């Protein structure tokens, strides 16, 4: 099996496992190719593109890594995430973005931290700042329905 075929298989498997994570954060899948990855979301929500200086997948550990100027785009959901490194731990079903993490959605939601950990099984994200600093998040609140009290 060629390296490209193996990498594509890893990407396709990881995409299926990440579909629930895409509701909050579009995160990472990678291949050994040096060009950006384009993978189809198994739910049919559209194309996810991952760009980075380097990408690798280790089948023995189940860890997929993108490093250096990582940029992840899920155009149909209007989400762009950037970081210095992104890792998907397939066995633990955990995604970790490290270093200058910035997640922006076109609906106004934004998150900035040094590290963001997304726990797929719990459908929960944890943002960690640089020591001595704070996490930044921005959310657009919707107006309550007429006739309801806050």
119 class by beta-carbon count within 10 Å (0-12 exposed, 13-18 middle, 19+ buried): middle
- Given this model, what pLDDT does residue 37 score? 44
pTM, two decimal places: 0.65
Segment holding 12, helix H or strand E: helix 3-18
Does domain 3-138 match CATH 1.10.10.10?
no
pLDDT at 1: 59
Mean pLDDT, to the nearest integer, of 88-108?
91
Q: Which tops the pLDDT comparison, 72 or 100?
A: 100
Q: Which token pair is 130?
A: 């640089």
């Amino acid at each position: 099996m060629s390296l490209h075929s193996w990498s594509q298989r890893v990407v396709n498997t990881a995409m299926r496992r990440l579909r629930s994570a895409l509701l909050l954060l579009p995160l990472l899948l990678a291949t050994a190719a040096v060009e950006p990855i384009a993978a189809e979301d198994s739910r049919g929500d559209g194309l996810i593109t991952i760009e980075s200086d380097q990408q690798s997948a280790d089948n023995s550990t189940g860890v997929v890594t993108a490093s250096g100027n990582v940029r992840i785009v899920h155009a149909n959901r209007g989400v762009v995430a950037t970081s210095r490194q992104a890792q998907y731990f397939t066995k633990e079903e955990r995604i970790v973005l490290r270093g200058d993490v910035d997640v922006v959605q076109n609906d106004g939601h934004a998150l900035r931290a040094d590290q963001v950990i997304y726990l797929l099984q719990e459908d929960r994200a944890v943002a960690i700042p640089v020591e001595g600093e704070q996490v930044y998040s921005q959310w657009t609140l919707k107006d309550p329905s007429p006739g309801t009290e806050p």
